[in-house]
Structure formats: structure tokens, C-alpha cells
Amino acid sequence: MTVRTRFAPSPTGYLHIGGARTALYSWLHARRHGGRFVLRIEDTDRERSTEASVRAILEGMEWLGLAWDEGPHFQSRRFERYREVVERLLASGHAYLCYCSKERLERLRAEQLARKEKPRYDGLCRDRTDPPPEGVQPVVRFRNPREGEVVVEDLIRGRVVFANAELDDLIIQRADGTPTYNLTVVVDDWDMGITHVIRGDDHLNNTPRQINIMRALGVEPPTYAHVPMILGPDGKRLSKRHGAVSVLQYRDEGYLPEALLNYLVRLGWSHGDQEIFSVEEMIRLFDIREVNKAASTFNPDKLLWLNHHYIQSSDPAHVARHLAWHMARLGIDTAGGPPLEAVVLAQRERCKTLKEMAERSRYFYEEPAGYEEKAAARHLTPESAPVLEALRERLAALEEWTPEAIHTRAVLPVTEALGLKLGKVAQPLRVALTGGTVSPPIDQTVALIGRERTLARIDRALDHMGTGA
RNA sequence: GCUCCCUUCGUCUAGUGGCCUAGGACGCCGGCCUCUCACGCCGGUAACAGGGGUUCGAGUCCCCUAGGGAGCGCCA
């Protein structure tokens, strides 16, 4: 049987870190076994589901490169099918109509809680024989077995046993005729031929109910794998208040998708001491059965380290494509300047994110808006005027405009001629060209900025210093 | 409250009864390198939740305790 997995988010927000990891594991499991990965949007709650969320989720999945083979299927378009299954359950006696009012249920719950009992439906309508109250739109409840137990052989948790006596008769269809989650999941996983349900472990407790519904339908349940949650630094479930949790937010902050993927795959899973995994390696090595049982804490520092690793070691052309996106986002026109690939090569070891790289590469394409106060005070001094003048002269005369030529024919001779240390030459020039004290090695910086701009900026700096040019 | 789940450095983890004086990675600290910022390199810091068993031997198996989490909706 070919493996079929699915990712089934509800469109009530963005694609977050936790969901992305679940999707990744699901996708990896399908890829590893040559199976199919299905995307399903669980939008039965019309109140909370939004079109914008759907778009954000799809965009996040695409950005990560988690391509789905089928879908997206929308549950909101399958109501007829769910209705049909509910009718079937009703006809076979596996479900029944319940006329209990919300008020009664609330009261019941309150009483049970007060008695320190587990709140659950008391089954009033389960065997009801008297005529139903008039004018009440009933809900449909699943008739859960009262005895026996449900055994879940979870790929991650191992064998988990639930007593049926602990389960109550859950609502599978609302009074307005719409289906509820536990019913739609069962029907969809069945209809879509899902063989492996990989999902967050907040669903572990729902699993026995779903298995019971499947049994009532005569359907063989899929294999389950409940992955642990991701926690924030405070040990609580990762959420908005912990900062960035949306996948697209990480894109915007300058992360490479492969870095996020690598971070996520290693959060809760490992392969010996290996830290770096290409997507191909993940597919080859990932085994859902090796995923940890315990929840893990999200560590932004390690993700940042991984991002830097990928910025530094990936093909510069690839990094440049992502950098282009960030440059555009900052409104920097890169048309008249150095190729982005060259900028990546020059900047990659000092930028941990692409956003940072874009922000710190502005001077390759635009004139510096001004000089950083401290930098100018320290380096654009009367003493450095001769340095800049000498540099200007030599740079202007350079035949070859390469880092090597700039270094050996301009920078170095000037330090020697004036009897200065390299720092005394490089820093004034750096401030003149970039407006600040930080940039790639000075020869590379000069080379990238280009002769024309370099000379003009030196002139401008000399002007600024009040010595004229 | 009830049910279910979890527990190795601050964090992610290796570890499947002797290879563990518990390894790697991030972070942190120190050093080297150096034109700035960085990169890189070298070194250091730091953990088996607690208690009982089983065993010649336990991080690894069993039990208890403690702590943490999830679920208990006409949400998904």
C-alpha cells in the first residue's frame, strides 16, 4: 500500500512554527516512502476561517518548499458528503439525535465539575423513547461504545490505551446541520486514503473517539504518529506572545527556508550527532519512529546560527535570489550597482540574516545618507585628509579595478608612503565610502562600489572635512 | 478534578545494561587570527528530577514520588 500522509490546518491564522514542523514531518514521511502528501484545509468553522489565512498557509508551505501532491481540499465544500455519512451512522444506530439544550449541557458540566468529575455528556437522549420536544433542532451524537478499550499503536508514543468508559457521546453534527471536527477528520482521512496521520499530540486524546467512529463505519483506522508540541522559552506552548511564530515572519526577517527546515527537523529528532541536513538528506534519513516523545523548547539562537550557516555555505547565486527579494522590499534599486552574487560573497560571513545583509549593503547601490557621527569624528579628521587625497590619486590612476590591484597598488602604497598602519588608511576610506565603520575588507568594498562612485565619495568626504577637493 | 502524555548540560540532543570519568551542537566565557565588523581556529563552563528496587553492573529495566504538558466545546 502506498503511503499517503496529510497536513490539515484550520485557516484561523498563519502557518506557525509548530504547524510547519508537523507539515514537514508529514511531508518527509511521504517522500521517504515514495508516497503522496495531501493538503487539506479544515474550514468547517465558518466563523473563524478566513480566506486570508488560507492564502497565508499556502504561501508559507510554498516558501518552505513543502509541495503537496493533492489538494488543497476544502472541508467546506464537502458538507454533502459528511451529511451522507451522518445519515449512515444514524441509520445503523451508531448515532442518535440529541435534543438537549445548551443550557442543560452547561448545567450538567458545572455540576460534574463541582463534584470533581470529568465533564461529559450523560447520555440522556441516547436511549430516549419518549417523543422529542417540539421546535428543537437536534444535534447528532455518536453512540460511543460503553465498554472495552481502544488501543492506539502510535508510531511515536508507542501503545496508548483508552477505556471506552472514559469517552462520552460526542456531537458529530451541529443543530444547524454542519459537521464537527471529529467527524470530518474521520471521513476525510478515509475518503482521501490517508495511511499515516501525523499530527500534533494535542490530538492524542481525540484519537480513540475517531477510531471508534471509523469502526462504526467499518473503516480500517490509519496509523497514527503524534508529535510533541513546541514550547516557548517559558515552557508554555509556543504562541504569539513569544515573538515570531509565523513562518512568513521568518521569511520577512531574512531567514532561508532551508535553515528553518533544518532547524525544525532537528527539533525533536536527530540522527546521531549530525546537525546539518539538506532536504535530500532529511528525506533519506528521517524516520518518524525516531521522533522524541517530549515537548521541546524553541531556540531562536540556534535557528539564527543555522541561518548564518546556510547563508555562508549555500550557492551564492541561490542566496542572491533571496537577497534580491529583501533588497526590493527595502526599496533598494540594485540595477546600477554590483551583481548581488558578488555582494553575497563579500557579506555572507558577517550577516546572519538576509534582511541584515540587505540593510548593510545599501551603500553599494545608494549614496550614504550621511556619516555616522562617531565614525566621522574619529576617522574623517584633518589628519586623514592626506590619506584620502593620496588614495584618491592612486585609485584614479589604477588600470585594473580588482580587489588585488586596489590592495597592492593603492591601499598598501599609501600606508607605506605615509608610514601608517593599515587601520589608519582603511578606516577613513571606509567611512568615506559607506558612511560607517563596518563593511567587508576595504579592497573588496572599494572594488564593489566601483571607481566612479568611490572617487566621488572620497571627494565628498574631503568636502565634509572642510579641506576642499 | 478526571483521563492521557512527558522528564539527560540554560536550550536542541547522543545514549537501547558494561565502550559513560555521560558525547555533539547552540549559547556563554577565555585565547589566537585581524584594516572595521565578522568568519575561522583552539580551549573552558554545564546535565542523567528525587527515592526505592532488579542486576556482578543502571542514564539505560521495574515501582513510587515530584514537576511539567495536553484533552475533557454544537473550536479544530
Q: What is the identity of the amino acid at A233?
A: P
Query: Could you give the dihedral angle defined by the CA atoms of residues A421, A423, A429 and A432, in that order, rounded to the nearest 10 degrees?
Result: -140
Residue nearest to nucleotide B39 (CA to C1'): A349
Active site residue A240: yes
Q: Is the ipTM of this complex over 0.90?
A: yes
Å from A468 (CA) to B42 (C1')? 49
pLDDT mean for each 10 residues of chain A (469 residues): 94 92 97 97 89 95 97 94 97 95 92 89 88 88 94 92 92 94 96 96 94 96 95 82 85 97 96 95 96 94 97 97 98 95 97 97 94 92 92 93 94 92 94 96 96 95 72
Output the pLDDT for position A468.
Answer: 42
Residue A237 has a pLDDT of 83
Active-site hit among A102, A118, A236, A240: A240
CA–CA gap between residue A367 and residue A453 (Å, rounded): 8
**Residue A439: what pLDDT?**
96
Strand B bases, protein C-beta under 7 A: 1-8, 10-15, 23-27, 34-40, 68-76
Q: Write out pLDDT tens, residues A66-80.
A: 999 998 999 999 999
- Residue–nucleotide distance: A277 CA to B13 C1' (Å): 15
Q: What angle do CA A354, A24, A271 make, to 5 degrees?
A: 90
- Element holding A95 (H helix, E strand): strand A95-98
Report the nearest residue to nucleotide B11, CA vs C1'.
Answer: A299
pLDDT digits (tens, 9 = 90+) for A232-279: 888 788 877 777 689 999 999 999 999 999 999 999 999 999 999 999
How much is the pTM? 0.94
Are A227 and A22 spatial neighbours (Cβ–Cβ below 8 Å)? yes
Task: Work out the number of other CB atoms within 10 angstroms of the CB of residue A167.
Answer: 19
Our measurement of CA A127 to C1' B76, in angstroms, reads: 29
pLDDT at A114: 87
